[in-house]
Structure 1
Amino acid sequence: MKHILFIVTSTDKTGNGKHPAGYEFSEIADPYYEFINKGYTVDFASILGGKPPYVGYDSSQKVSRSFKESNGFKRLSFSHKLSSIDTTAYDAIFFPGGLGLMTDMIDNTLVKEIIKEAYENGKIIGAVCHGPAALLNVKLTNGSNFLKGKKINSFTKTEEEIDKHTLGNVIPFMLDDELKKQGAIFSHTEPFKSYVVNDGNLVTGQNPASASSVALKMIDLLTN
């Protein structure tokens, strides 16, 4: 049996402090069911532990509604504090998106160490939408930047503009620009269409529509 750790933001406001933040609900719900339907176990850790904030819940989405009524959501609401668990016990780590982690995971030394350790030990790392923000500022053991030369994607500047996520007021930086500044080879598709990139043991998805596909690609890598 494979064990997946979802690492979740604890930040509930962003930008000027007035814009709601947290994890994007469907970006946990959709991958969660992909993993458990294949017999994998999923645990949840957040920066502060406890109940992480969320945005974007839509009761008309069957999967999201089912997750909110599930034992999985109950466990997520009592998430482990990231600093209190042994992340090396997991076969893969996954960073769901949402604006919150653009604040609490950018320079978090524990998050950086977990990503470095997972990557250098051949564990699978997945991230979707704003989740790849967690991958910024990671230094490998040899001193190189983790993102240098990596094929990657994330939520795009065009999608931020469509969602009226203005710099400063809502988001602290444009994620696609920052990924490219750190040496990532960035690609994307049309706004809000599913798109996944796989480079070695790293899997990234562009937006909420990509969340299930990221999980399925992670499962493919874990299986093979």
Structure 2
Amino acid sequence: MDLAEGVQSASFVILAFMMIGAALGVVLNYNIVHSAFLLGGVFISIAGIYLLLNADFVASAQVLIYVGAINVLILFAIMLVNKQQEFKPLPSTWIRRTFTVLVCMGLFILLSTMALTTPWPYSSATPSSNTITLIGKYLFSDFLLPFELASVLLLMSMVGAIILARREYIPDIGTPTSSTSKALKLPERTRELISPIQEENL
């Protein structure tokens, strides 16, 4: 995507502020569901920055994998746990928050200084149009084993998250059969009382 330099700069600033605001919302929000949705906003902002860098395949992979798979998996795990316990505020929370803010500000200043002082190379050459073909070629030839290992690792983490979330429904080892069947049985629907006149009609 070839845009004018002013449009690219303005788009980058907007996407950067969107990403930083969404990231702050992920960290500072008390509602974990809202934090998960804001995390999707961070991923979408990063995909927009990839588009500005003419990395169309990486941007589409960012949306499909991180927003469409990982973020949805996080929301699925949150909804599956469904804990009703309320968080109680700790007496020394302000100390931890102050220390966290200082560490984050130090990292932000360090990264900003590094980004501003580093002589980034600039190339005026037009990007290649067959990047998707090259990525697919290397992905299914030289990097096939790491790709398959990453997919197996994601599958194992998803199964483990489901098992941990449903642990309260798994019976303990050594319990009688009656308690086991009771733990795995759904609660029955309450039956309505039938009057003798209705019994005669039946």
Q: TM-score, normalized by length of structure 1?
A: 0.21
Larger Rg: 2
Q: Which has the higher contact order (CA 8 A, sep 6+)?
A: 1
Structure with greater helix percent: 2
